[in-house]
Amino acid sequence: MAKDRLAEVLTRWEAVIGLEIHTELTSLQTKMFCGCPVAFGGEPNTRVCPVCLGLPGALPVPNELAVEATVLAGLAIECDIARYSQFHRKNYFYPDMPKDYQISQYDVPFCLGGHLDVEVEGEGAKQRAERSGVTETDAGYVTRIGVTRIHLEEDTGKMIHVGGSEGRISGATHSLVDFNRAGTGLMELVSEPDIRTPEEARRFASALRLIFLSLGISDCSMEEGSMRVDANVSVRPWGQEAFGVKAEVKNMNSFKALHDALAHEIVRQADLLDGGGTVAQETRHWDVAAKKTSSLRGKEEAHDYRYFPEPDMVPFTFDDAYIDRVRTRMPELPTARRDRFMRDLGLPQHDATVLSGDLALAAFYEAAVAAAGVGRARQVSNWTLGEFSAFLNEAGLQADGAGIAPAALAALVALIEDGAISGKQAKDVFAEMAKGGGAPEAIVERLGLRQMSDAGELEAVVDRVLAANTGQVESYRAGKTGLMGYFVGAVMRETGGQANPAMVNELLARRLS
Amino acid sequence: MAITEDQVRHVAMLARLGLDDEQIASLGVELNDILVQVDRISALDLADIEPTAHAVAQVNVTRTDEVRPCLSREDALRNAPQQQDGAFLIPKFGA
């Protein structure tokens, strides 16, 4: 899908996008309404009980931490927490749902009316900012995406369709149902239709993911399905108030897929309307291999879920004391952390953003700064984002599983800053650390890398070099100052590359003046 | 209040019940009788009555997040008409 095509379409059509984001509460020990453990995968139907299998007479009891997690998520994005709330039954039939109803929430969800400010930089950001009257920043713009609600429900089981192509239901001869996932706590966030571009959608979803990760309520894996993003998309001519007919797009299991599916769907709808056609209100499936969306169901039945209050559970009331207690669990959120890195540690915005955008890396960095001292926060950041991140990417590791302790990186930075080794030597030391070579001090000793910083020792070498090159010294004094590099090189050769370059320069300059 | 045959068919479809015309007609009559009974509530002045969410006057009943024993897979699948590889086998459905 050509990027230019989307840009062209968006000059004539305004896209209107709302997201529904389902997040499994994977950090909980147990499911939403029963004591079965929460885990990914495993042998089918080994984490099930009468409650999550929907056996007659089994009674659900809500997990207190699931309720807390949802309230915490609501507080993080400035929702109003309901004073009175309850669960409802949502009635529909599907083989992955054993009870033939899903316990969900209806008119009184736990959280209502929050918002998230999304920052967009890069190509086209300025034009978008001018067009839509959002807040411009140095690098792009900030747009506020409203959150309609967050409610709590239970996840369904999983099906494997047998006999069709690529596990799709069409053409399957039969299906296998695994209820291990059924009944897992599932938080659904519904955004307002405030999103205008695929990039905004991607940024909104990834910012939310980072917040939920910070709250420690889910592992938010789009690949494993613990975070699932569906999008409602429509287009309308610029300036038109009324919404166009929307399609719901599903099956995006990465942020890139979310972006690409939306870009494709916006262009598809615009092409339909440009050609005099109409958009059908339907659910469409994103096919990542074919890079297109296709209609999921031939015939769309009007939903009739017949919600009614869940009679097996009593309602909830949340008072200030409860909400305040949950609020005490609120960690520092990613944007606050970024701002602190800029304000207190003097990091540039880009570096602070990258660090705070990866929780493991940020924790590593903070620990390394604690060991190195705040005065070296910049240098530690440079090493964390430079050699260390390159190593993580290459090895496919997370910062907390890389076998390099934050204190070790701090020690390496200290060796450089104290003049014991040069920056170039430090890269060799780091390469050894990455191979499990031990503490940087020990590597320096072992490799004989210790930088020669003893003034007396260096002076002797400098004098020796100058005495052996009297001709060049005369030329230098006569004005050929370009010979400085020659002298530095000679001293470095003489010391096997271990001389402290800054000191060599200083000594030479003094001797030759 | 009168329920139409179309409404009976719609409800039957939602409940995935295959009913013939005779059943639609007789169930329509029965549903109507029930609705007539329920309709009597409309005669009451309930303006000042809070809707009741639950018959038990309790709130905030939860459990701690502790693992409890699951069923064995053998027990879990005991009622399955068909099974395969430890999963419930269901016939072809949908598209």
Residue whose entry in the numeric block shows the structure tokens 């994977």: A26
Q: Which of B66, B87, B92 shows the shortest C-beta gap to A173?
A: B92
The answer to whether the Cβ–Cβ distance between A30 and B66 falls below 8 Å is: yes
Q: What is the chain B residue with the closest CA to A67? A: B62
What DSSP character marks residue A387?
Answer: I
Chain A positions in Cβ-Cβ contact with residue B63 (cut-off 8 Å)? 35, 61-64
Pairing of strands A283-287, A247-252: parallel
Give the torsion sign (CA, A325, A329, A334, A335): positive
> Do B63 and A35 count as a contact with CB atoms less than 8 A apart?
yes
A349, A342 contact by CB (below 8 A): yes
Contact between B68 and A35 (Cβ < 8 Å): yes
Best residue in B10, B62, B64, B85 for a mutation probing chain A (most A CBs within 10 Å): B62
- CATH code, domain with B30: 1.10.20.60
Q: Do A176 and B66 touch (CB under 8 A)?
A: no
Facing B88 at nearest CB: one of A63, A176, A315: A176
Fold of A455-512: Arc Repressor Mutant, subunit A (1.10.10)
CB contact under 8 A, A309 and B54: yes
- Is A44 close to B85, i.e. CB distance below 8 A? yes
Residues in chain B closer than 8 A to A49 (CB atoms): 68-71
B68 occurs within a structural domain: no
Chains A, B: CB contacts within 8 A come to 123
Sequence letter at residue A110: F
Give the separation between CA A306 and CA A320, rounded to whole angstroms: 33
- Which pLDDT value is given to residue A54? 94
Place of tokens 């975070």: A227
Give residue B83's Cα distance to chain centre: 26
Alpha-helix runs per DSSP H in chain B: 5-14, 21-39, 73-76
Single-letter code of the amino acid located at A26 = T
DSSP string over A170-212: TT-SEEEEE-SSTT-EEEEEEE-S-B-SHHHHHHHHHHHHHHH
Q: Are B71 and A43 in contact (CB < 8 Å)?
A: no
Contact A449, A425 (CB under 8 A): yes
> For residue A1, what pLDDT is reported?
53
Which contiguous run of DSSP H or E holds residue A491? helix A484-494
**Looking at CA atoms only, how far is residue B91 from chain A in angstroms?**
5
Query: What is the pLDDT, as a whole number, of residue A299?
Result: 46
Query: Which residues touch B71 (CB under 8 Å, ≥6 apart)?
Result: A48, A49, A50, A53
Task: Report the residue from B59, B65, B95 with minimal CB separation from A29.
Answer: B65
What does the domain layout of chain A look like in residue ranges? 3-321, 340-438, 455-512
Contact: B68, A47; criterion CB under 8 Å: no
Cβ atoms within 10 Å of A251's Cβ, excluding its own: 17
In angstroms, what separates the C-alpha of B89 from chain A's closest C-alpha?
A: 5
Judged on CB neighbours under 10 Å (0-12, 13-18, 19+), A289 is exposed
Tokens of B56: 């038990």
CA-closest candidate to residue B95, choices A105, A479, A168: A168
For A66, other C-beta atoms within 10 Å of its C-beta total 25
Element (H or E) spanning A248, and its range? Answer: strand A247-252
The helix (H) or strand (E) run that includes residue A444 is helix A440-447
Of B70, B92, B95, the CB nearest to A36: B70
- pLDDT less than 50: residues of chain A: 298-300
Q: Residue B17: give the domain boundaries.
A: 1-43
CB contact under 8 A, B67 and A95: no
Distance CA A344, CA B29 (A): 76
To the nearest whole angstrom, how far is the Cα of A376 from the nearest Cα of chain B?
43
Minimum-distance CB partner of A175 among B63, B69, B90: B90
Q: Closest residue of B to A66, CA-based?
A: B65
CB distance B54–A53 less than 8 Å? no
Q: How many domains does chain B have?
A: 1
Residue B54 domain flag: no
Question: Which residues are bridge partners to A140 per DSSP?
Answer: A121
- Confirm whether B1 is domain-assigned: yes
What are the chain A neighbours of B56 within 8 Å (beta carbons)? Answer: 314
One-letter amino acid at A508 equals L
Positive or negative, the CA dihedral A108, A109, A111, A112 is negative
pLDDT at A71: 98
ipTM: 0.88
> Which class for A198: exposed (0-12), middle (13-18), buried (19 or more C-beta within 10 A)?
buried
Residue A487 neighbours by CB under 8 Å, 6+ apart: A465, A466, A469, A472, A476, A508, A512
* Tokens at A101, concatenated: 């109803």
Name the residue in chain A with its Cα closest to that of B86: A44
State the Cα angle at A238 between A232 and A241, rounded to 5°: 70
Q: How confident is the model at residue B57 (pLDDT cuts 50, 70, 90)?
A: confident
Report DSSP state, residue A99.
Answer: T
Query: Between chains, do A48 and B67 touch, taking CB under 8 Å as contact?
Result: no
**Residues in chain A within 8 Å Cβ distance of B69:** 35, 49
Q: Give the closest residue to A62 by CA, choosing from A86, A98, A81.
A: A86
Cβ atoms of residues A141 and A135 within 8 Å: yes
Asked if B95 lies within 8 A of A174 by C-beta distance, the reply is no
Q: For residue B52, what pLDDT is reported?
A: 78
